[in-house]
Amino acid sequence: MAKKASPALETALDNLESLVERMESGELTLEESLKAFEEGVRLSRDCQQALQQAEQKVRILLEQNSNAEPEPFTGDDNEQ
């Protein structure tokens, strides 16, 4: 069974999705859009950093067990 993403990553992704929806609605002023974009860039960087840290942990674990091989991610959304 796959674990869910960390709460911080989940929150950042949810906030990023919400920002994108608000920006796509076209109801924000230019200033609000720029602030939302800036926040989106920050959230995107936070998510990327969290994913890089997870990837590093996987590499370390695989190095500890040289017989282990990664399996393809199926992306099964049924586990929530």
pLDDT of residue 1: 37
Tens of pLDDT, residue by residue over 31-43, are 999 999 999 999 9
Helix, strand, coil % in the chain, rounded to nearest 5? 70, 0, 30
pTM of model > 0.75: no
Share the mean pLDDT of the chain. Answer: 83
Domains of the chain: 7-64 (1.10.287.1040)
Report the pLDDT value the prediction gives residue 8, as an integer from 0 to 100: 83
Tokens, residue 51: 């994913």
Q: Indicate the burial class of 19 (C-beta count within 10 angstroms; 0-12, 13-18, 19 or more).
A: buried
Question: Mind listing the pLDDT tens digit for each residue in 40-61?
Answer: 999 999 999 989 998 998 888 8
% the chain with pLDDT above 70: 81
